[in-house]
């Protein structure tokens, strides 16, 4: 990798955001020296959505959630996460 450029000093977070929107970090950071970091205490951001489900399906989900002693919304999230993970592995 060629010599990395020095990251400029920013007066505001907005100024820094605008800089990185148009500059490639590989010009400023030697990524070959990067180390993996685990931030296990961070919780992912969540977004509330509205989802229309047939009543029979929702009732079935609630029954399955009740069997597992968990809220039905949590069960839906688990099922979605598992399906996405499985799909991405194929």
List, for residues 11-42, the tens digit of each pLDDT value.
Answer: 999 999 999 999 999 999 998 889 988 888 88
Say whether both 62 and 86 belong to one domain.
Answer: yes
Say whether both 85 and 58 belong to one domain.
Answer: yes
Picking from 90, 88, 54, 60, the residue whose alpha carbon sits closest to that of residue 75 is 60
- In a domain, residue 60? The reply is yes
- Which two structure tokens, joined as six digits, stand for 50? 């509205």
Say whether both 30 and 5 belong to one domain.
Answer: yes
Helical spans, DSSP H, in 5-54: 13-22
The whole domain housing 12 covers 1-34
Residue that the structure tokens 């959505």 belong to = 49
Say whether both 59 and 84 belong to one domain.
Answer: yes
What does the pLDDT read at residue 2? 62
Say whether both 20 and 54 belong to one domain.
Answer: no
* pTM, full prediction: 0.52
Q: How many domains does the chain have?
A: 2
- Which two structure tokens, joined as six digits, stand for 74? 């949590």
Work out the number of other CB atoms within 10 angstroms of the CB of residue 58.
14
d(CA 45, CA 73): 16
């Amino acid at each position: 990798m060629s010599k990395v450029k020095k990251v400029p000093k920013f007066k505001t977070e907005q100024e820094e955001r605008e800089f990185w929107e148009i500059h490639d970090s590989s010009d400023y950071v030697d990524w070959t020296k990067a180390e993996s970091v685990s931030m296990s205490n961070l919780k992912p951001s969540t977004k509330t959505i509205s989802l229309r489900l047939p009543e029979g399906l929702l009732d079935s989900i609630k029954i399955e959630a009740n069997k597992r002693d968990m809220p039905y919304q949590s069960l839906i999230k688990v099922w979605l996460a598992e399906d996405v993970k499985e799909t991405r592995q194929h």
